Chains A and B, each alone.
Chain A
Amino acid sequence: MSSIELDHVSKLYANGAYGVRDVDLSIGEGEFVIFLGPSGCGKSTTLRMIAGLEGISSGDLRIGGRSVNNVAPRDRNIAVVFQSYALYPHMSVRDNMGFGLKMRGVARPLIEEKIREAAGLLGLTPYLDRKPAALSGGQRQRVALGRAIVRDPVAFLLDEPLSNLDAQLRAEMRLELVKLHRRLGRTIVHVTHDQVEAMTMGDRICIMREGRMIQVGKPLEVYADPVDTFVARFLATPPMNLLPARVEGRGDDLAVIGDGFTVEVPQMHRAAYAGLAGREVIFGLRPEDLHEAPQPGFSPIEVSVVAMESLGVENILVGQIGTGASGGKPLEISARLSRHFTAPVGARVPLHLDPRPMHLFDPETTRAFPRPSLRLVTN
């Protein structure tokens, strides 16, 4: 049994500040869960509490159904891979990997066999006699993983293990971790602040902010239906466009009107948003929902180009809309356009906005106003 349950778990520091606040989460056996959030949001603290390296101020933590609040790290049978890898510098790769088994009194031949197995799996066989100092960053990362694997723990806790690798290696290791998860079938909790890792690796994402877990769900669920403006902006680059606006009209004429844009609320959302008529809102739309070509139902806007970023597969247009008449600056907006679309800086270009995936947020609480989900992926 390797399920992990956090039952209203909090971490209160001596100075009265909460590191983690009332986290309630159930991680199923064999599940790959991502803790995502900006630095200082409490995700690593939560991970360390699961590992037993950090005390729990209140709440209950259960691993495999057993409450482990007062169980020492060594008795939880959980492996942690640290951001710094934390390899023992005075030991060879072989001894690093075998340390956990040695501590548990496993017989030497069995330790050797497990090390050989894990080293083969991770491509570390030629380096077994080297010290960590003589390894590259990627190899050290593998040793840290190997050290976790040989112990055959009930769960792996990974604390930003890929953040010290260069972009290409990170992409490779991302894939390898996913494969490893499939192969071992163990519960994995992966802490990261990288949205790509969050979107691509896990079964579920848990987004944390200021010690609280603000949204938990499948990656595409969270992407399609963020609970507030923070999640909306955090989960992608460029982030969701958030524009102050006002809901006007009624029935078929329900529209969201802001400085430089008017969006007719599509049929599917009218019932949900009808009650907002006359209210100030924040209009949210992802950059990929702005298009160069008009289509029925799309709303036209005019954007003056501030910058064009050509990424090869696509072009990101950063522009301004509106006049800033309401006292503020003109609103900044980004659009993910085809790689064939170019426009000089300063030009005014027409774009077309697909209103179906739109979101409306409460400007005071920043929470999303509920509306029917548009997700096409349901698994």
Chain B
Amino acid sequence: MRRIGLHLGLLFACAVILVPLLWVVRTSLLPEHLSYSPELMPAVTLDNYVALFTSTRYGQSYLNSLIVAFGSVVVALPFAAMTGYAFARFKTSGRAGRFAVLATQMLPPVAIVLPAFALLRTVGLTNSLTGLIIVYAAVNLPFLIWILMGFFEGIPVDLEWAAQTDGATAWGAFWRIVLPVSLPGIAAAGVLGFILTWNEFLFALVLSGPQTATVPVALAALQTSNGVQIAKVSAGVVLAVLPLVIASRFIQRFIVQGLTFGSVK
């Protein structure tokens, strides 16, 4: 009886999460005039997807988002790895330093976005992908540092000691032993950073222009004075979710794989 109750509860929870998503998928595949039809699936068409790419800049925005998300991860990861390692292994600035890094995440984004805009305007990087990449790398850095710090703390220091007595320098031990061993963790952090950037709206809205809009901004732009173009929005959302679905598959595999497979008992 308890099991039945449990399963009913789980089914309900799944429904709460899945029904809106499935409804969006359904709406994206319906002709626009049937978007609000009470029937489940009165017709199927790909017109919304075609229209999204032909009558709006969604394709450009999609590419922008990919570039910005990848770029910010590529820029942020090396810094995050080195800082996270320093926090995990050395007494670098102590606990205060660690929490100061995290504390920057506690500011509301709105408090940072205007100074960021002013800064980018000074150096002429507003309305540019480079500017967005730099800002996202900076904004995501504390979070990535904390994730990687956890991974590095999980790597036994014995491994580095062994490498050092084997003839490696401290840097060599980091490069040849710690980095390869923590690759799953670094990959997981990279995927998380990608997702964070991919979903971000406020910074993209303020710092980008029509040429450099990212997916969230492009989706918001479909809300016009003539009302929300729900069919196109649905198609856009389905496409926007795709990379995240793929990313979560990866991240799951990397995290499950574990870190120190068989190095220490």
Interface residues of A (CB under 8 A from B): 48, 51-53, 72-74, 76, 78-80, 82-90, 99-100, 103-104, 131-135, 137, 140, 147, 151, 164
Is B165 located at the chain interface by the 8 A CB criterion?
Answer: yes
Q: Is the beta-carbon distance between A99 and B180 smaller than 8 angstroms?
A: no
CA distance A85 to B156 in the complex (A): 11
Give per-residue flags for B143-185: 1 if the beta carbon is below 8 A from chain A beta carbons, else 0.
Answer: 0000000000000101101111111110010000100110100
Residues of A within 8 A of B260 (CB): 89
Q: Is the beta-carbon distance between A100 and B181 smaller than 8 angstroms?
A: no
CA distance A314 to B165 in the complex (A): 45
Q: Is the beta-carbon distance between A86 and B162 smaller than 8 angstroms?
A: yes
Query: Which residue in B164, B262, B264 is a CB contact (below 8 Å) of A135?
Result: B262
Smallest CB-CB separation from B172: which chain A residue?
A103
Query: Which residue in A48, A73, A85 is a CB contact (below 8 Å) of B264?
Result: A85
Is B261 located at the chain interface by the 8 A CB criterion?
Answer: yes
Q: Is the beta-carbon distance between B265 and A137 smaller than 8 angstroms?
A: yes
CA distance A135 to B262 in the complex (A): 8
Q: Is the beta-carbon distance between B262 and A134 smaller than 8 angstroms?
A: yes
Q: Is the beta-carbon distance between A132 and B263 smaller than 8 angstroms?
A: yes
CA distance A164 to B164 in the complex (A): 23
Known A-B contacts A88-B263, A89-B260, A90-B181; the reply to A53 vs B161 at CB < 8 A is yes
Given contacts A74-B168, A89-B262, 15 further A-B contacts (CB under 8 A): A51-B161, A53-B161, A74-B167, A76-B165, A82-B158, A82-B161, A82-B162, A84-B158, A85-B263, A86-B161, A89-B181, A103-B166, A103-B172, A147-B166, A151-B166
CA distance A82 to B158 in the complex (A): 7
Count how many pairs of residues, one from A and one from B, have CB atoms less than 8 Å apart in the complex: 88
A305 to chain B, nearest CB (A): 41
CA distance A58 to B183 in the complex (A): 39
Known A-B contacts A80-B161, A90-B181, A103-B172; the reply to A85 vs B265 at CB < 8 A is yes
Known A-B contacts A86-B159, A86-B161; the reply to A100 vs B167 at CB < 8 A is yes
CA distance A83 to B156 in the complex (A): 11
Residues of B within 8 A of A86 (CB): 156, 158-159, 161-162, 263-264
Q: Is the beta-carbon distance between B156 and A74 smaller than 8 angstroms?
A: no
CA distance A88 to B169 in the complex (A): 16
Query: Which residue in B167, B180, B262, B263 is a CB contact (below 8 Å) of A103?
Result: B167
Residues of B within 8 A of A80 (CB): 161-162, 165
Known A-B contacts A84-B156, A88-B159; the reply to A79 vs B265 at CB < 8 A is no
Residues of B within 8 A of A72 (CB): 164, 169
